[in-house]
Amino acid sequence: MQTKELNILVVEDDDFQRQMVINMLRSLGVGSIHDAENGQLAIEMVRGNTEKLVDIIICDLNMPEMDGLEFLRHLSQERHNVSIILMSALGGRLLGSAARMAKMYGIKLLGAIEKPVALVQLKSMLLKYERSENKWLDAASIADGFMLKDILQGIEADEFEPFFQPKIDLATDQLVGAEVLARWNHPRLGVVGPHGFIPQLEQTNNIEGLTFMMLEKASLALRDFHDKGHTFSLSVNISLASLDDTAFADKITRIVREVGLEPNHIILEITETAAMSYAAHALENLTRLCMKGFTLSIDDYGTGYSTMQQLTRIAFSELKIDQSFVTDLSDSEAMRIVVESSIEMAHKLQVKSVAEGVETQKDWNTLKRLGCDTAQGFFIAKPMNLASFVDFVHNN
């Protein structure tokens, strides 16, 4: 979407500040700009706007009638498909808390800006909106999911395929791997993201079939890359539900070896909440996978509970810092400290640190300065099908 096609609503009670933001948006070429002096008027405008939907709302926090926090709550309850930029003169820490609250409400947050707002900040947010459109469409696609029988039929019909998101070494800028992400090539709806099928498969203990399919297809692709001289690893996500099957480690090993690949080229990503569930069966599987030669990675690090204990239970070799910390890294001192501490701890434990959700050059530069090992995210590349990933590998 071009800037001139955007429809933006500015919600700010101070007349001067509101006009200043409007003037900046005009200078950036925004085609349609509306304004409101409090959240109550803004929510009424959003509700009544049926001809041209609002793309972005730039919202102050401290306002009369209805403040920014209440406005965000109402917006989330009504499920309006709009992106938000927060702004406030109340300080970075409070703005950061409001931003995290917005994300917890499911708001599509572009970022938070301390007043006075600068033109370069607004421009950066608009560019971020353009980069993020496809990501949000994918995450929201088929939000309520499909019937289980339809998903299982899709698996039986081999309609699922792996997409690949590159992982780049921050020190050398070299490709060191990719995360494998399942996508459904639906015969009627096109490519469907994981929100449409993963929850149903996990809740009904039907996830293993898809896991094995993705692992086999990804391993075949990786073997071909290795045969052509491209030696890197692939990361595959493992569900907590699978770890209760004591034969799981042997099944995984057999699939990888039968396609002519050794386990040491596969990284198995275990979510932190899954790693936390240290039932004997899960612990046996994870230990056996290490014995077989697989690399284990703690995924979504920092989002679960009893985090420090996780690192001492299993022989993990990689720690993936969750994107919720990385996204705010450049604009939040608190987030930077958390990420820096995670990187330092990973290095002291002699495991690799991986940052996911890297979306800007600024994030990349900060992570590089902090000594993070590896990065992945939209700044590098979106998840792509095998054909596109082959081109990416050949051109990098």
Residue 219 has what pLDDT? Answer: 97
Tell me: pLDDT of 265 over 80.
yes
Answer whether the bond into residue 383 is a cis peptide, omega within 30°.
no
Residue 79 has what pLDDT? Answer: 64
pLDDT band at 390 (very low <50, low <70, confident <90, very high): very high
Task: Dig out the tokens for 65 from the structure.
Answer: 């009638």
Which one of the listed residues 269, 318, 356, 359 is annotated catalytic? Answer: 356
Residue 112 has what pLDDT? Answer: 84
What is the percent of the chain with per-residue pLDDT over 90, rounded to a whole number?
43
Task: Dig out the tokens for 171 from the structure.
Answer: 């020190």
* Mean pLDDT value across residues 298-326: 73
Compute the mean pLDDT over every residue in the chain, rounded to the nearest whole number.
Answer: 85
CATH architecture of the domain with range 3-140 = 3-Layer(aba) Sandwich (3.40)
Tell me: pLDDT of 302 over 80.
no
User: Is 356 considered catalytic here?
Assistant: yes
Q: Report pLDDT digits (tens) over 85-111.
A: 998 887 777 777 788 788 777 788 888
How distant is the alpha carbon of residue 21 from its chain centre? Answer: 29
pLDDT band at 313 (very low <50, low <70, confident <90, very high): low
Answer yes or no: same fold for 3-140 and 148-395: no
Q: Report pLDDT digits (tens) over 115-170.
A: 888 888 888 888 878 665 544 334 333 444 578 889 999 999 999 999 999 999 99
Distance linking the first and last C-alpha atoms of the chain: 28
Residue 279 has what pLDDT? Answer: 64
Residue 393 has what pLDDT? Answer: 96
pTM strictly above 0.85: no
Residue 165 has what pLDDT? Answer: 97
Contact between 380 and 360 under an 8 Å Cβ cutoff? The reply is no
Residue 71 has what pLDDT? Answer: 85
Q: Report pLDDT digits (tens) over 1-30.
A: 466 778 899 999 999 989 999 999 998 888
Tell me: pLDDT of 213 over 90.
yes
Task: Dig out the tokens for 247 from the structure.
Answer: 């034969």
Q: Which of 17-21, 70-74, 304-308 has the lowest mean pLDDT?
A: 304-308
Q: Which residue has 């077989």 as its token pair?
A: 292
* Mean pLDDT value across residues 166-184: 96
328 vs 113, residue with greater confidence? 113
Domain ranges of the chain: 3-140, 148-395
Residue 101 has what pLDDT? Answer: 81
Angle at which helices 333-348 and 92-104 cross, to 10°: 80
Class of the CATH domain delimited by 148-395: alpha beta
